[in-house]
Amino acid sequence: MHSLRFDGTFTTWRQAARRALLQGLAPHQLQWLDEEAAPGLFDQPAERAPEPNGRLRVSPELLELLESAAQYRGDERWSLLYRVLWRFVQGERSAVLAGDPDGSELHRRLKAVRREAHHLHAFVRFQPSKAQGAPDFVAWFEPAHDILAAASGHFAERLGKHSWLIATPRDGVYWDGQRLQHERRCPAQWQAWAQQPEDDGQALWRAYYGSTFNPARLNRTVMQQHLPLRFWKHLPEGPLIPQLMSEARAGAQRDGQALVLAGRKGKRIAQINEGDAARPPSGSVSGSDAPDLPR
């Protein structure tokens, strides 16, 4: 078993994979160890072999797929990539197809990575920074996969010249208005800035969210599919959601508005079911119940 230790980035993995392919090392002969993995008891020390000569023909599309799948955190993170690459180079183009066992797992990981990037774009909440030397806006996020470096450019296109940072328990990104800096180990100062106390704007947002919440439209299953529970604790409105859902189950669904508004004076807005839309209103007559009118 050959143990290949590298720094955990796709760039260095790609270089190591190229050397292994040119040396003819099959997937079952390799063990991939990034810098965070502890060496095993029977691991052979990684030998820096001379750079082998030769050429490999790999399509840019495949490398792009492998680079995206490398963002997935899971078992056999790098082994699967090498297995797909090895089979592809050997002429097995089916290795990247969804009907193949390896290809199916590859596409499952790609889907998970894309979904996590969507979560980043949808659930990051920036707030103005108060600390001296900090960027204009800061945010804290806890992604399930290593999507921060690839997906955070989305915010650079939207926040313009404003500086901002997103810190996570592992890595962080900092936009100074012109350049995006990614740190694989998030500096402690960035994490402290991102976890600063809430400002007045967060309270204002919670007041708005609570007053516009419609309990009549609540569907807990669909809500948790689009807004997973693990993100609630980092959203300003997160602490309100369990209370609003509880009120909805306790009877607030009969109103088409939040309790704080339904309890005020004024006309009551009742929930209208789909079946009620086709039913004539109280006091009206239709069909055979209508009285005969003089001709």
What are the residue ranges spanned by the domains of the chain? Answer: 2-116, 125-195, 199-262
3-state secondary structure of 98: coil
User: How confident is the model over 269-289, as a mean pLDDT?
Assistant: 50
As a whole number of angstroms, the distance between CA 206 and CA 240 comes to 8
169 vs 253, which has greater pLDDT? 169
Residue 173 scores a pLDDT above 70: yes
- Asked whether 246 and 218 are in contact (CB, 8 A), the reply is no
As a whole number of angstroms, the distance between CA 248 and CA 267 comes to 20
- Asked whether 248 and 254 are in contact (CB, 8 A), the reply is no
Q: Percentage of residues in the chain with pLDDT exceeding 90? A: 52
As a whole number of angstroms, the distance between CA 24 and CA 89 comes to 11
Residue 21 scores a pLDDT above 90: yes
79-102 as b/e: b if 16+ CB within 10 A: ebbbbbbbbbbeeeeebbeeebeb
User: How confident is the model over 200-219, as a mean pLDDT?
Assistant: 84
Helix (H) or strand (E) holding 175: strand 172-175
Q: Other C-beta atoms within 10 Å of 247: how many?
A: 17
As a whole number of angstroms, the distance between CA 144 and CA 208 comes to 29
What residues contact 54, with CB distance under 8 A and at least 6 apart? 22
As a whole number of angstroms, the distance between CA 93 and CA 87 comes to 7
User: How confident is the model over 82-98, as a mean pLDDT?
Assistant: 94
User: How confident is the model over 183-187, as a mean pLDDT?
Assistant: 96
User: How confident is the model over 25-41, as a mean pLDDT?
Assistant: 75
Residue 287 scores a pLDDT above 50: no
40-50 pLDDT, tens digit each: 444 444 444 44
Amino acid identity, residue 110?
L
- Asked whether 14 and 40 are in contact (CB, 8 A), the reply is no
The pLDDT of residue 294 is: 43
Q: β-strand 164-167 against 137-140: which pairing, if any?
A: parallel
Helix (H) or strand (E) holding 137: strand 137-140
User: How confident is the model over 198-225, as a mean pLDDT?
Assistant: 84
- 77-89 and 60-69 are packed helices; what angle lies between their axes, rounded to 10 degrees? 170
pTM: 0.77
As a whole number of angstroms, the distance between CA 8 and CA 37 comes to 9
Q: What count of Cα atoms within 13 Å lies in the side-chain half-sphere of residue 257?
A: 12
Residue 177 scores a pLDDT above 60: yes
As a whole number of angstroms, the distance between CA 28 and CA 6 comes to 18
